[in-house]
Amino acid sequence: MHTAKGFIEEIFLQGRWAARIACPPALVPAPGQYLLATSLSEPLPVLAQPLFSAGVCPGGFYAAPPLPASWLPGAVLRLRGPLGHGFSLPPGARKVALATQHTNSARLLALLEPALAQKASIALLCSQPPASLPAALEILPPASLPEILPWADYLAIDLPRDQLPGMLSMLLQGEPQSKRLPPRAGRVQILVQTPLPCGGLAKCGACSVELPAGKGQRLACEDGPVFDIY
């Protein structure tokens, strides 16, 4: 974990990136990890903002939306991280599914370049995919998840905390049995969206997540925000 200053090189109003962030290489978060960022250009102290990668770029990374509307190009950021556990794409995965129930798939798309680099076929399940995605990607509606389960040998999901129980129920108890992914550590990972106000420093508990039996309650800021389901 490191602290350093970075700055906003560019803001994007549309598309899969919210901003291009310049920072030291050690601060660049891996897919699913995050930084806590405070803008030193804000006139009043504010809570640190979690920043997730939507892809790497020379000298830094692309931040996934949303970002505070008050952040402008040139703003200097105080950065702490990378924090938490991110996605672990298995090197042997050749059929990769990225699934979100909402419109923002940017945090999952940080896995795009690594998956393409290992020549995986990729399916993106998202209701509003951003423009300019590689043509090799298959775009499917979120409702296709039960059908994609038998195909994928790695599944990464991004969803809000309140949708976690329903997703776990579908993955762990859904029928028919033959359509579920065979349980194997690391085969299904879920990035759980929660507030991350302290990043584990104050043990505030705002990021608490209830996982399946045997795993119990965890802190998304330290134990996640990406969790193995099996």
Q: Please, which residue, 5 or 203, has the CB nearer to ligand FES?
A: 203
Pairwise CA distance, residues 177 & 186, whole Å: 19
Distance separating alpha carbons of residues 46 and 26, to the nearest angstrom: 25
The two three-digit tokens of residue 93, written as one number: 């995965």
- Of 108 and 221, the one with the shorter C-beta distance to ligand FES is 221
In the complex, what is the shortest distance from the CB of residue 208 to ligand FES, in angstroms, rounded to a whole number?
7
* Closest-CA residue to 100 (of 90, 89, 109): 109
Question: In whole angstroms, how close is the CB of 9 to ligand FES at the nearest point?
Answer: 28
* Rounded alpha-carbon distances, angstroms, from residue 180 to 10, 149, 155, 193, 215: 42, 6, 12, 24, 20
# binding residues, ligand FES (CB under 6 A): 13
d(CA 63, CA 110): 10
Q: Which is nearer to ligand FES, 190 or 207 (CB)?
A: 207
Nearer to ligand FES, 88 or 208 (CB): 208
- Residues within window 156-215 making contact with ligand FES, judged by CB under 6 A: 196-200, 202-207
| Nearest residue (beta carbon) to ligand FES | 221
Q: How far apart are CA 44 and CA 213, in angstroms?
A: 43
CA distance 11 to 17: 8
Cβ nearer to ligand FES, comparing 66 with 205: 205
> From the CB of 220, what's the least distance to ligand FES, in Å?
6
Looking at beta carbons only, is 167 or 221 nearer to ligand FES? 221
State the minimum distance, in angstroms, from the CB of residue 219 to ligand FES: 5
Spell out, one character per residue from 13 to 52, where the chain touches ligand FES: x when CB under 6 A holds, - when not.
----------------------------------------
Residues binding ligand FES (CB under 6 A): 196-200, 202-207, 219, 221
